[in-house]
Amino acid sequence: MPRTFKLRQKESWDDTTQNLSGKMKRIVKDKVENHIGVSPYKEECLHYEVEGLWSYNKLETDSRIIYAICEDCRKRELTIMNACQDCEEMTDNTIILWVFGGHEVYKNLKRTRKKAWKKLVKQRRRKRRN
């Protein structure tokens, strides 16, 4: 039996999807429920400042859906990077929808996560030395 994932949204998700047309909202909802929600690990895993996030970009436009998988986040010790407020309450089979938008979403995410990424890199270096 296929694994079931729960979908949750960050506030930033609502900010980036509220002005979509009805047709685009239906397309995004379909992709989230029938693709990401069914097999989230099939998509592109992001790196560097956006490590811990995943990207789905198989839409009819240049847009992409950025999300995190709680199980992956915990296993790769990226909770500092993703900083979900209710992380402890989330089960491993939860998918957090972060943002929707064009290629510029990467630039915005990198800018907001840069400090956390640098902190994570330092922690990993210290761990390797010990």
In a domain, 35, yes or no: yes
What CATH code is carried by the domain that includes residue 12?
A: 3.30.2310.20
Characterize 25-53 residue by residue with b for buried, 16 or more Cβ atoms within 10 angstroms of its Cβ, and e for exposed: eebbeebbeeebbeebeebeebeebbbbb
Q: How confident is the model at residue 1 (pLDDT cuts 50, 70, 90)?
A: low
Residues contacting residue 93 through CB under 8 Å, at least 6 positions apart:
3, 4, 5, 6, 70, 71
In a domain, 126, yes or no: no
CA 9 distance to own-chain centroid: 10
Q: How confident is the model at residue 32 (pLDDT cuts 50, 70, 90)?
A: very high
With 0-12 / 13-18 / 19 or more C-beta atoms within 10 angstroms meaning exposed / middle / buried, residue 87 is middle
In a domain, 76, yes or no: yes
Domain count, the chain: 1
- Give the residue-averaged pLDDT of 35-42: 94
Position with higher pLDDT, 74 vs 83:
74
Q: Confirm if 17 and 28 have CB atoms less than 8 A apart.
A: yes
In a domain, 129, yes or no: no
In a domain, 127, yes or no: no
> What is the per-residue pLDDT for 120?
84
CA distances (Å), origin 76, targets 10, 51, 70, 102, 105: 20, 10, 10, 27, 23
Closest CA to 10 of 78, 83, 80, 115: 83
The predicted-structure confidence for 2-11, as pLDDT tens digits, reads as follows 788 999 999 8
Q: Confirm if 40 and 54 have CB atoms less than 8 A apart.
A: yes
> What is the per-residue pLDDT for 26?
93
Does the predicted model carry a pTM greater than 0.75? yes
Q: How confident is the model at residue 83 (pLDDT cuts 50, 70, 90)?
A: confident
- Give the residue-averaged pLDDT of 100-108: 89
In a domain, 56, yes or no: yes
The predicted-structure confidence for 108-118, as pLDDT tens digits, reads as follows 888 888 888 88
Find the domain containing 82 and state its range. 6-121
Q: What would the two tokens of residue 12 be?
A: 């930033």
pLDDT of residue 43 exceeding 70, the answer is yes
Q: How confident is the model at residue 45 (pLDDT cuts 50, 70, 90)?
A: very high
In a domain, 50, yes or no: yes
